[in-house]
Amino acid sequence: MQIQPVILCGGSGTRLWPASREHYPKQLLALLGDDSLLQATAQRLQGLDGLHVGPALVVANEEYRFVIAEQLRQVGVPSRILLEPTGRNTAPALTLAALTALADGDDPLLLVMPSDHVVRDVSAFGRAVMEGVPPAGQGALVTFGVVPDRPETGYGYIRAGQRLSQTGRACRIDAFVEKPDAPQAAAYVASGEYFWNAGIFLLRASTWRRAVQRLAPAILAACEQAVAGARRDLDFLRVDRAAFEACPTDSIDYAVMEKLAAHPDLGAGVVVPMSVGWSDVGAWDALWAVADKDEHGNAVRGPALLEDTRNSLVMAHSRLVATVGMEDAVVVETPDAVLVANKAHTQSVKKIVERLRRNGDQQALQHRKVYRPWGWYDAIDAGERFQVKRIVVNPGARLSLQMHHHRAEHWIVVRGTAEVTCEDRTFLLTENQSTYIPLGQRHRLANPGKLPLEIIEVQSGAYLGEDDIVRFEDHYGRVD
């Protein structure tokens, strides 16, 4: 049986600020272990016996397309990346993926997974998927319900009905239930009939298309036009912007799953229970709950010293963090921001992000370290009329041919070999050599070597914003 993973890579994760930013959201972060949440999701089905797993279809925001492609390349997961020009929630995203799969001439089972969730027991997850394959292959729309280990008010629930067989765990879905209050959540858990709604689905591409055609025809019509007008852009597939922007916004549950009971001819709604160490990592307290902890209940990542500290989460990225006499705390350090919060109030971190946005602060949007298709840069210092950046260019990569109206640049090679173009001259620089790029001159930086190129760039001028770039030629399609 062929399985087509569909990875939904939208969302900004504002409750995980300052680690998660709008231009570098939580699915791109390595919050547990060495792999990012996206990489862990993409690898989740590798090695499943009895299943043919095809290349992943990743539906993503175009803003971080190059980082997604690079992360998937690093873990060796073959993929195709569909770019949404704007977010329209999960039902349109799945519809784009289903139509793309059907256009290939196949009708695979689509395993739909959010890219920003944690699954600690991958083997148990694989067994749950295997149990969902028979009903999905027969036309059911299968979802996976997490067996709750506590009365959680932050998740929606699924009420299970009659079992499909005496030996299996799969059940018909009786109802989807919105996030309950605390007493109701406790009653749900005590009954044993309710599961957390994890937002993971298994269904045939044609089954989903037929259901959307009946229950959300406006979504299907817009997505069909968007896919029909799609164009190839390097290794990405861009759907038609105008058609997709006209698409209604809706989730998979609201658009289809909650309406299935009234339309039995479209296929049964089925839930497969699973206990897999799942979390949607919706806030810092949720990350603490699934992270490995020391004998004092502390989850620590990065350089940190804890004294008389208990049941806390401490994450340090760029410098030593020390805590003394703390309990139930969250401390997250990044090069440009520090969060200190009570673990019980981490849902309110989004209010900080909202205030940053209202004030126009860049800390809501991006990190000091910014990823580009050719590598990354880190704005390490700035003052009146100057800025200093550390720039790393990947082997074989090159920046656009560009110029600036308001700034000049000095480049000093720290490591590797730089190929520099300045107006009609092209020349090489090696370690400890430097050059000067005058204001207004066309220039380009490239790495012709097999190792990363690292330079220090000193900018000087009246205006140093990133929008003072005029691109004349660009390998990555960003020409003005």
Helix (H), strand (E) at residue 348: none
Query: Distance between terminal CA atoms of the chain?
Result: 46
Of all residues in the chain, the percent with pLDDT exceeding 70 is 99
Q: What is the pTM of this model?
A: 0.92
Amino acid letter, 403: M
Q: Kindly report whether the peptide bond that precedes residue 151 is cis, defined as omega within 30 degrees of 0.
A: no
The HSE-up count of residue 235 (CA atoms within 13 Å, CB side) is 15
pLDDT interval class at 62 (50, 70, 90) = confident
Residue 404 is predicted with a pLDDT of 97
Does residue 337 contact residue 24 with C-beta atoms inside 8 Å? no
146 Cα distance to chain centroid: 21
Domains in the chain, CATH or no CATH each: 2-279 (3.90.550.10), 292-356 (no CATH), 369-473 (2.60.120.10)
Indicate the burial class of 246 (C-beta count within 10 angstroms; 0-12, 13-18, 19 or more).
Answer: middle
The HSE-up count of residue 229 (CA atoms within 13 Å, CB side) is 15
With 80 as the cut, is the pLDDT of residue 479 above it? no
Per-residue pLDDT tens over the stretch 161-203: 999 998 889 999 999 999 999 999 999 999 999 999 999 999 9
Per-residue pLDDT tens over the stretch 113-139: 999 999 999 999 999 999 999 999 999
Per-residue pLDDT tens over the stretch 235-253: 899 999 999 999 999 999 9
Per-residue pLDDT tens over the stretch 211-223: 999 999 999 999 9
Does residue 419 contact residue 389 with C-beta atoms inside 8 Å? no
The CA distances from residue 95 to 109, 131, 170, 270, 469, in Å, are 13, 24, 25, 19, 37
Per-residue pLDDT tens over the stretch 313-358: 999 999 999 999 999 999 999 999 999 999 999 999 999 999 999 9
Helix (H), strand (E) at residue 11: none
Rounded to 5 degrees, φ, ψ at 208 are: -65, -45
Q: Which residue has the tokens 């209940």?
A: 297
